[in-house]
Amino acid sequence: MRVRLFVGLMIAFLASGVVSAQMPQRRELRQENWKHCKSEDPDRATAGCSPLIASGKEVGSKVGQASYERALAYAHRGDYDHALRDINQALQLDSGSADVFYARGLIYANKSDNDKAILDYDQALRLNPSLANAVYGRGIAYSNKGDYASAIRDYDQALRLKPAFADAFYGRGLAYMRKGDYDRAVQDYDQALRIDPTYLPALTYRGWCHAQKGDYEGAIRDYGEALKQNPDSADAFFNRGWAYARQDDYEAAIQDYDRALQLNPNYADAFYDRGLAYDSEGDHGRAIQDYDQALRLKPGVAESFYGRGLAYMRQGDYDRAIQDYDQALRINPTYAAALNNRGWCYARNSDYGHAIKDYDQALYLNPSLISAWGNRSAAYAHSGDLRAVTDYGRWLRLRFGILGLSIRTSLFVLALVLGIRMNRFSRRSVRVKGVGRLGFK
């Protein structure tokens, strides 16, 4: 009996030793998990937070903290559904944290739910009115909704709270840019770049604003600087190519489009713009090849059909040009320039009836389309229709102002006095040599 008791005591003693040895190990493991849970590495954070949440031994605010940290990790990885689940759990356990409401606002914003994001930013600011990041985040949400006035007010407030906030200057610049206020946008991008000279998006968009203002040299400088920071930016090469093209430097533009396409062979816009550049240089064959590629990558773009139609038209292939203009107009029935050019192709094929119908529709959609007045005048003339004089006069007035109006009046008087019969008009008698080219864009 004593032997059995002794053995039992020995077993109990040894077991207590094992438990006491495991407890420090468990504490160390828990501490290690918390260390990983707060890591900026999302994979390490998830790996650390998950066992803490699942253990059932963390209670109250500790579970809320682990859920919050894991939500941030999921969000960093782009897994916003799991992030939202965890952040909701964190708010159930701690509904008085401005940071947690701000984090959920960020998650909603990344899920494109700007209304819910704004509500969470509002709550975060009720809890902490000086939380500049929440004001800034709300500004982004308003900007995404197209409410640029509210966005700018929030960026203003964020900059009052945090004067050296480069992101807020950038965001406000973006809002001004989207409103078309390029001068103020440039000023804000300037400020962002003074704070952070490596702020690549601010540099890129400042270049775009310079281009919209017609300052192509300024745009080219900014895109060049952007390429020094990131030589593999297909967008920067594309945008600089666009600026070169606006200066009619098509050779430099084509070189930049080439580089953009080397970096991104599926860059449909680069194919399209390079096609425009080739066409402007008179290389219509290469232009058509590029439009083919643009349409392969983006089949439903009316502008690509229009551009290819223009190249065929300049090659004298009017039937193919008409087919492409047909496609452009199926996609966009209000494409006045396509109607004008298709009319010109019909006229070149001596189909003046269809030509005049297209010019009529083009002018109904855009009465200021100068070339359509001149083109319809020529079509009327070839059809023996006196309205050719009226349209020609309208073209002169729009093209040359008061001088054109005077010429128009003189033409009317001459037509009435001499009793001009329009069926005597011929190609040779119509002196508007530029009318044929006026159909081009």
Contacts 24+ apart (CB under 8 A), 342-347: 342/309, 343/372, 343/375, 343/376, 343/379, 343/439, 344/313, 344/375, 344/436, 344/439, 345/313, 345/318, 345/321, 346/318, 346/322, 347/375, 347/378, 347/379, 347/382
Place of tokens 């009317």: 412
pLDDT tens by residue, 388-401: 888 888 888 888 87
According to DSSP, residue 40 is labeled S
Place of tokens 């998830």: 46
For the segment 431-440, the average pLDDT, to the nearest whole number, is 33
- In the chain, the domains with their CATH numbers are 334-441 (1.25.40.10)
Residue from 80, 87, 82 nearest 102 by CA: 87
Answer whether residue 439 shows pLDDT above 50. no
Taking the model in full, what pTM does it have?
Answer: 0.76
Phi, psi of 144 (to 5 degrees): -65, -25
Answer whether residue 379 shows pLDDT above 70. yes
User: Rounded distance, CA 353 to CA 57, Å?
Assistant: 86
- Residue 397: its pLDDT value, please? 84
pLDDT tens by residue, 85-136: 988 888 888 778 899 999 999 999 999 999 999 999 999 999 999 999 999 9
Distances (CA, A) of 354 to 318, 357, 360: 14, 5, 10
- The residue that leads in pLDDT, 294 or 4, is 294
- Residue 198: its pLDDT value, please? 93
Task: Supply angle C-alpha 162, 166, 167, rounded to 5.
Answer: 95
pLDDT tens by residue, 205-246: 999 999 999 999 999 999 999 999 999 999 999 999 999 999
